[in-house]
Chains A and B, each alone.
Chain A
Amino acid sequence: MIEKNYKQFKEKVITETLANGLKVIMIPKRNYHKTFAVITTPFGSLDRQFQINDEAPITVPAGTAHFLEHKLFEKEHSDAFTRFGELGADANAFTNAFQTSYLFSTTQNLKLAVTHLLDFVQTPYFSDQTIAKEQGIIGQEIQMYDDDANWAVYMGLLQLLYPDSPLAEDIAGTKQSISKITPQLLYSIHRAFYQPNQLTLQLVGCFDPVEALSVIRANQESKQFENVAVTRFEAPITVSRKKEVIQSFDVSRPKIALGIRLEGTQLTGSEATKFILATDILADMLFGEQTDWYQNLYNKGIIDTEFTTSFDLLHGYQFVSFFSETTEYELLTKAISNQMASYEDVLSRQEETFEALRRATLGEGIQRLNSLESIALRGDDTLFGTNLFDKVMLLQELTYNDILESAKKIYQNATLKRFILKK
């Protein structure tokens, strides 16, 4: 067991990798009432081709990771969900671009629930019959997203920035793509990405780490696993040619998304986390509520509190985005372009502003540590191996120069693209 102390936060993180490769991360918090547990595989919607050992490469249709997530709950004679219910545990699962996670939180029967979590995730059952039924349910889920205007804007921007890429496809896929899923495909994915050395189990909350680990170890030692080598093939980053797309939709006010793609090599590890932190503060310095820029646009009614900016770094996809609801989108676009063009002037001699924002971001990070779910899921654990405590610690290392460097990387030679959803 490796124990890492974060004295400033009065927290410790215990890590252990079992003989079969399963990584266990435990964060005991004895003054809480519940325990949150989550098991994660780094297999998400962006994973569209892979190879096991030297077997033939396998192509994965859009939506498969999410489909498998749904299907893993269903067993031959039972439903994994029901068992969590009987134990009084609140269970769920989610799939995003780069991971699939299965989770529960409970104030009772922790040992049984952890054992059940491991058992159901590690014991797949896929049949033609259950797959056919799921195709119906997910078909409806996809439709539900299609009716959501905010989702349409988000997907519209991704399609504009990265046309026909896995990122621009719905995590749930399409009715057509999921119709290609077979039991054999799901078993292959499970064999590759659900073997113990691909999985991480996190426990955060009210439990005894020694006891919990012995339950997990006993469970794993009672099972046999095949160990296979996995190669991933990432889809090439596509070229974006269009500068603007307008889509018609019944919304009360136009919804706008603007985006900037970052090209070039992707960062990894704590460097990546640091870059994300720097770009967040940078966005605040240029476009935050406390800036003259924001107040000026707000006064003119060009933006309101719905205006947001964000930065995403997902494998090869790196982009800045802006979202707003406004009829004055021409003026907004112009204002963003102007601010981008004059970033050097805006940022010059702003050390004090940077310091204040860094402190505020630190304070926000500390506030986030209240939530067991955030501790487990809001760090960059899966992508970059930095947990939420590391992330808050890294903030304290950030310098004004880091901000200037990020600004150069993002805004020098940037191309702003625009997606509009309106009546």
Chain B
Amino acid sequence: MKKIQLKSGVNLVVLPTTQFKTLHIAVDFAAPLQTDSVSSRSLLSYLTAVSSKIYRNQQAVAQKTIDLYGAQYETDVMRFGQTHHVRYSMQLPAPVYLENTSYLLHDAFSFLREMIFNPLADGAQFDQETFEKERQSLVNELSSLMDDKRRYAVTKLRQLTYTTPEMRVLSSGVVADVAKLTASDVYDAYQDMINHDTMNIIVFGDIDEMQVLSELEYWPLKQREPRQLKPFYRQPVHTSVDELSEKQPDINQAILTLGYHLNLSPDDPRRFVALVFNTLFGGSPLSKLFTNVREKESLAYSIYSRWQNDTGFITVAAGLDKAKIAQTESMIAEQIADIQNGNFSEETLAAIKTSLINDYLSQQDSPASEIELVFSRLLTQRETPVAQWVAEVSAVTPVQVAELAQQLTLQSRFILLPKG
């Protein structure tokens, strides 16, 4: 990966390839995660998705993306450890597959520049009318998210699990905070982002560095002091388990969620062991949770575990009959004890490792995965070559998995129950 520093705090990576029929431009703004800026950053991503000075509403934006041969323009927000990201991305058909499209590339870069750097604002605040509409859209979206019961349960678990306030909030914001924001608050957040965030640009597709550099000449990229970014979060283990349950009408199934602390520092080379452990535990259809709890005992229809190296937690979520919660929980605990005691077959472990390697190699066939991987390399300043990654996973032993499993401690439990 060749990183080009365009300005202090502004980096570019160009990934030329003819494998795909698309061209991608992605721009990431990264800042330290803070409770009071998450909502305004989320809202500014809504505003800049649908308006700029030239393209004043989504009708104009849609007309332009239609003219760009059905290009997709999106904004998004996300979290990685203790950093918060506002992400702009564009995908368009590779011009080589179309006729009379010499203008397409230049137009795409100009459009993205316009959307990012020329917001529909008067220098002090966003356009009031657009602002009010988009604020309402975000409020609606955040409320609707909670209609998704699984997502709701995992969100509640997060609030129980983390001790640091900013780790408890959704990266897309908090309804109550969004409702209070003004057009000038959000404009301030926008100015802060544009002028101070660490900015990473990735261009991916059938294009070379010179073309990209000449297009970016037109972008107003200013130098900035590098932000202190913490891509990893760790909190000390607690001695007690925080619990909560809640009843809701109109649901049949209960949802059980569990948060486990995994004692492993972010730079520990055993992160490959952790990956294998989680996949064996509940991260795949070959896992203990899936094969035993779901398939063998029919206790839950869905059950999985997820490991996040950026926060140091493993989360388990299961959809099940409420009468089976206690039995399922004790069975989950048994699966952990089994792994701790080395009670799993060499064949299963080999299959787990092979499937992990398959997933990893398969990512190379997805532009989105490749771009995500490069963003994470830029953020963590850690780059593992493909061959080394495969070798590290292959080398994980049963003893290492059993030992690391002993570093797992239950910290939180949230249960969503059907009312009545």
Contact = CB atoms under 8 A, between A and B. Distances in A.
Interface of A: 8-9, 31-34, 79, 81-82, 85-91, 105-108, 133, 136-137, 140-141, 143-144, 146-149, 205, 249-253, 288-292, 294-295, 298-299, 301, 304-306, 325, 356-357, 359-364, 366-367, 369-372
B407 interface: no
Contact of B286 (A82, A108, A137, A249): A82
A290 B59 contact: yes
Interface residues of B, number: 70
Contacts of B362: 33-34, 90, 105, 107
B147 A88 contact: no
B140 A325 contact: yes
Interface of B: 18-22, 57-59, 61-63, 65-72, 91-94, 97-98, 129, 133, 136-137, 140-141, 143-144, 146-149, 248-253, 284-286, 294-295, 298, 300-302, 319-321, 347, 350-352, 354-355, 357-359, 361-362, 364-367
B59 A85 contact: no
Given A252-B144, A325-B144, A370 B67 contact: no
B140 A253 contact: yes
A58 B270 CA distance: 57
Nearest to A152: B250
Nearest to B321: A140
A33 B250 contact: no
B22 to A, nearest CB: 5
Nearest to A206: B365
Contacts, number: 177
B133 A301 contact: yes
Contacts of B294: 137
Query: For B149, B364, B365, which residue has the most chain A Cβ atoms within 10 angstroms?
Result: B365
A225 B120 CA distance: 68
Query: For B57, B66, B148, B286, which residue has the most chain A Cβ atoms within 10 angstroms?
Result: B66
A8 B97 contact: yes
B147 A252 contact: yes
Instruction: Name the 7 nearest CB pairs between A and B, nearest first.
Output: A363-B69, A88-B354, A363-B70, A360-B70, A140-B301, A289-B62, A364-B70
Contacts of B355: 85, 88-90
A107 to B, nearest CB: 4
27 contacts: A33-B361, A33-B362, A34-B358, A86-B351, A90-B355, A90-B362, A108-B354, A136-B298, A137-B294, A250-B249, A252-B147, A288-B62, A290-B62, A290-B66, A295-B57, A298-B57, A299-B133, A360-B67, A362-B98, A363-B70, A363-B98, A364-B70, A366-B22, A366-B93, A367-B72, A370-B22, A370-B366
B164 to A, nearest CB: 28
A367 B365 contact: no
A367 B147 contact: no
Contact of B59 (A90, A292, A325, A361): A292
A8 B97 CA distance: 7
Contacts of B58: 289, 294-295, 298, 305
Nearest to A299: B133
Contacts of A86: 347, 350-351, 354
A142 B406 CA distance: 37
Given A34-B361, A360-B69, A370-B367, A143 B253 contact: yes
A147 B253 contact: yes
A366 B21 contact: yes
Nearest to B302: A144
Given A85-B355, A325-B144, A32 B137 contact: no
